[in-house]
Structure 1
Amino acid sequence: MVNTEKLFNKGFISVTLINFLVYFVYYLLMVIIAVVAQDKLGATLSQAGLASGIYVIGTLIARLYIGKKLEVMGRKQVLRIGIVLYLVTTIMYLYMPSLIVLYVIRLLNGFFYGMVSTATNAIVTAYIPLERRGEGINYYGLSTSLAAAIGPFLGMLLLHTTSINFIVIMASVMLIVTTIGCFTIKVNNMHLTTEQRLSANSWQISTFIDTKVMFIAGIAFLMGLAYSSVLSFLASYVVTINLVSISSLFFVVYALVITITRPIAGRIFDQYGENSVMYPSYIFLAIGLLVLSMTTSSWSLLLSGALIGLGYGTFMSNGQAVALHLEKDISRIGVALSTYFVGLDLGIGVGPYLLGALRRFVDFKQMYTMVAVLPIICAVLYRLFYKGLPKKQHN
C-alpha cells in the first residue's frame, strides 16, 4: 500500500479534491431537486420529498455492497467505474419527462455517488501516515464540509438566476474534470489472500457489516438523527421566529467553524486520544441544539450554528478515524468505513420522517429541546460501552 511520512502529499491532495467535487455535485443537486420536482413535474410535497430521499436509499445500498466488494473488485476499478457512471447518471437529469424517470435517475445517481465516496474514503487512508491519521482524516473531512456549505448556497443561487439544465451541465463539466482526475491518480489495489477473497465473496452478514465498528456506527446514527433536525427544519423554524434574513449565514458560520477547528481536533485526537475530542463533540452539539431551541435573535442563531459545527462537525470526521482504528485488518477497511457511514446516513435519512411525526405533537422549540437529549445519550452510551483504543495508537 502507498504511504508516506508527509501528510500533504500529491495522492492525499488529489483524493481530497476528488472527494470535494463528488460531494459538491451531490449537495448542489440535492438542494434543488425537490423544487424542480414540484415546479417542473407537478409533484406534491411528499412526492418531492421522495425524490430527495430515494437518493439516500441508493447511497446506502452502494455503501453496503461496495464496502463488502471493494477490495475484491479493486479500489482503482471501483473508483473509475463509479465516477464514469456517476457522470452518466448526472447528465441524465437533462431528461426528466416524469416523476418515475426522476426517481430512477435519483436512485442510480445515489448508488454511484455512494460507490465513488466509498472508494475515496478507503483510498485516502493509504496516503495518510498512521501516526497522523486523526489529523489527516480531519483535513480530508474538510472537503466534505466545504462542499456541504458551498453546494447548497450555489445551488439555490443558480436556481433563481439560471435553469436546471444550466446547473446539470455545470455539474457534469465538474464531474468530467473529476473523472480525468480519477483516471490519472495512482491507486494501488489490495492483495488479498485466498481466505480474505472467499470471505468477501460470501453472503454472511459479517461481510456487509463490520461488527467491530457497529457501536460507533450506532452512535453516528443518533448523532445524524440529531443533526437531521437542522437540515430538515431550520428553514421552516426561522420563519416562525422571524430570522429568515440572517438564516442563510447559519451554514456559513457552521462551515467556517469546522474549517478552523477540524485540523486542531485532528492533532488533539492523535496526541491525546479519541476521548479528548469525542466527548466535547457530544457536549457542543447538545448545547448548540439547546441554544437553537431558545433562539430569538440573529447572534444566538449564528452562535448555535457555530456550536453545532463544533459538535456534529467534529464528531463526523473523528468518528471515522475511530472506525479506522478499530478495524486492524486492512482488507476490511472498506467494510468498516461503509458500516460507519451507513449509520451516519441512516440517521440523516430517517430523521426527517421521525422528527416530522414528532413535530405534529410539539412546536419547533420543544422539538429542538428534545433532540438536544440525543447527544447526551450518545455521551452516556459512549462512556458505558466504548472500550477505547490501545494507548500506543495515539502516539
Structure 2
Amino acid sequence: MRILLVGPCHDGGSIPPYLDVLADGLTALGARVDRLGSAGLPYDPYARRFWPTDRILAAAGRLLSHIDANGYDLVSIHFGNLEIEQLLPALWAHRRRPPAVYHVHSLDWTLFTRHVPDPALRAAVDDGVAAIDGFVFFGRYAKQELTRRLTVAVPATVAWLPTTIPTGTRAATTMQLRAALRRQPGLQLATLYGYAAPWKDPCLVLTACAHARVPVRVVLAGPYWDEPDQAGVDLRAESAAVRRHGLGEVTVVPSYLSAGHRCALVQHSDLAVFPYRPHPTFQGSGAIADYLAHDVPVLATDVANMAELVGDAGAIIPPGDPTALAEAVDLIVRNDAFRARITRAARRRAPAFTAEAHARSCLAFYQHILDRKRVR
C-alpha cells in the first residue's frame, strides 16, 4: 500500500513523535510511506502573533499542491488545534484525490476561533473533516463526541495511541532532569510529561501533595510549565528547585523531552499521575502509553479516554478532587499489595501500546477503506 502521511514535520509538539512511530510501524509492515507536512505552527515568534489568514491559506495551498492523486493509494492526515493541515480536507473538496483517513488528535480545532478568528474558515474545517473517508480515534470517548457533533456516517475505528519511545531507545538526561529524578531512597516518584495545557490541572497536584499522608515527589516535565499564563498557576519556584508542599515535593522541568529523556523519566517513575480536567478540545492522552508500555501504573482523573486506557493498571479518581488524589497516592505508596497488583496489570496491558500493534490496526483499517471504495 502506498500511503502519504500528512502532518506536522518538525521538532516539538506531541504529533510529530507519533508520526515518526506510525511511519516506521507501517513501513515495517510492508507499506510504502512518504511524509508531507508543515515545518512549524503558523505563528511568528518575533511578532508574537499568529499568521494572518491569507498567509495560512497560502501555506496550506502549497502543501496541497504536493499531494499526487495518482501517486498514493491513501492519505493519512493528522492535525490538532493549530496545524495548517486542518485546511487540507476543505481545500481538496473538489479535487481528485486518494481516499483519506483522519487520525483525530483534537475534538475542536481552535486556530480559526481563538487565535485567528475567521468563522468561514472554521466552518470550512468542520465541513472538510465531515467529508473524510474514515476516522481513526484514539479512544471511544473521542469517537462518541466527534461523531455526535459532526454526524459522521463513514467507517471509524479505535486504535489507542502507542508509545513514542522507540524500541532500543537509550535513556538520556539533562542536568535539570537528572536533579529532578534524584531522590532519597524509599521516596516514591510520580511523574507527568507533556506541554502545559488548559486540560491539565497542576493546582490539583499541589493541593493533593499538601493533603497527602505519605512523602512523594511529583515531577512535571515539559514546555511552558514555568509560564504562569500557560500552566494556570505560578510554578516558577518549582522550576528552580524541589519545593515542599506538605509531605509532598514538587519540581518542574520546563523543557521539551526527547525520546531519550522520556525513556529516563519513565524508567525512574514509580507511578504516572494525570491530573486532567474536561476540556472541549481534549480527546485523550497519548503520554499514558509511554508509561503503560513500560509497566508503570497510572493514577488519572476520569476525563476523556483515561479510564479506558488505564483499565486495572492504576486508579481513576474524579477530576478536581484533591482529597481523592491524595488518598489514591497514599493507597499506592503505602499498600504494597495494591501497588504490586496494578504494576502487574500494567505489564499485562503493555503489548496494547506498542508501535507494532497500533500500526497493524491502522493498516487493517486503511485496507478496509480501500476495499470499501473499490466496491462502491
Same fold (TM over 0.5): no
TM range (shorter): under 0.3
TM-score, normalised via structure 1 length: 0.27
Quick one: higher RCO (CA 8 Å, sep 6+), 1 or 2?
1
Greater percentage in strand: 2
Greater percentage in helix: 1
